[in-house]
Structure 1
Amino acid sequence: MARLTARMGSEMALRTVLRDLLGPSRNETGCVSYDFFENEDNPLEFVSVEQWRDQAAAEAHLATPHVATAIARAGELLAQAPLIQRFRELA
């Protein structure tokens, strides 16, 4: 999961960057699910919920051109660095 906070006035542009990631990321080998959510009470806040087949698939995702493009586009749109947390499914 990742929590992203847009700079005031940049939320529409960040929303576009995040939407552009959905299709290519969902089509990657090893992607189980890949979604973004927008906080209904705070339009500056977004959350990514991703599930990958394994750590190798998650790492391969981070090395794709579409992620590199999104990082470059989102940099100036963010109020702070994303908060990234990794979770494991309960067995």
Structure 2
Amino acid sequence: MSSALQALVMPTRQEPGCLDYQLFELTDEPGTFYMRESFTDELAMEAHRATPHFQAFAAQMDGWLAEPMRLVRLTAIN
């Protein structure tokens, strides 16, 4: 799964509307990953989810997940 997630990083960073795309692995839980993503707006995020590289990953990810993927939306306050 790590290599599949890493394969998303560079193409995603080159997408229009991508502000930040970072992959992390929890130090105390190897094999548990966190993806921090920031896009200019909802349309850019939707466009990301429609890209071939994301769709290829999404088609495989269910077999790798111990629990459903969770999307947390944040709004900057400063």
Q: Same fold (TM over 0.5)?
A: yes
Equivalent residue of 1:56, what SS? Answer: helix
The reply to whether residue 87 of structure 1 matches residue 74 of structure 2 is yes
> 1 or 2 for the larger relative contact order (CA 8 Å, sep ≥6)?
1
CA distance in 1, matches of 2:49, 2:7: 15
Deviation of 1:40 after TM superposition, in Å, equals 0.5
Identify the residue that residue 36 of structure 2 maps to in structure 1.
Answer: 49
Deviation of 1:20 after TM superposition, in Å, equals 0.3
- Describe how 1:52-67 pairs up with structure 2 within 5 A: 52-67=39-54
What one-letter code is carried by the residue in structure 2 that aligns with 1:89?
Answer: A
- Describe how 1:1-91 pairs up with structure 2 within 5 A: 14-91=1-78
Deviation of 1:28 after TM superposition, in Å, equals 0.2
CA distance in 1, matches of 2:60, 2:12: 16
RMSD: 0.9
Q: State the 4+ residue runs in structure 1 displaced beyond 6 angstroms.
A: none
Mark the runs of 5 or more structure 2 residues left unpaired by the alignment: none
Equivalent residue of 2:63, what SS? Answer: helix
Mark the runs of 5 or more structure 1 residues left unpaired by the alignment: 1-13
CA distance in 2, matches of 1:17, 1:88: 28
CA distance in 2, matches of 1:61, 1:28: 7
Deviation of 1:44 after TM superposition, in Å, equals 2.4
TM-score, normalising length: structure 2:
0.93
CA distance in 2, matches of 1:22, 1:51: 12
Percent sequence identity over aligned pairs: 35
What one-letter code is carried by the residue in structure 2 that aligns with 1:80?
Answer: E
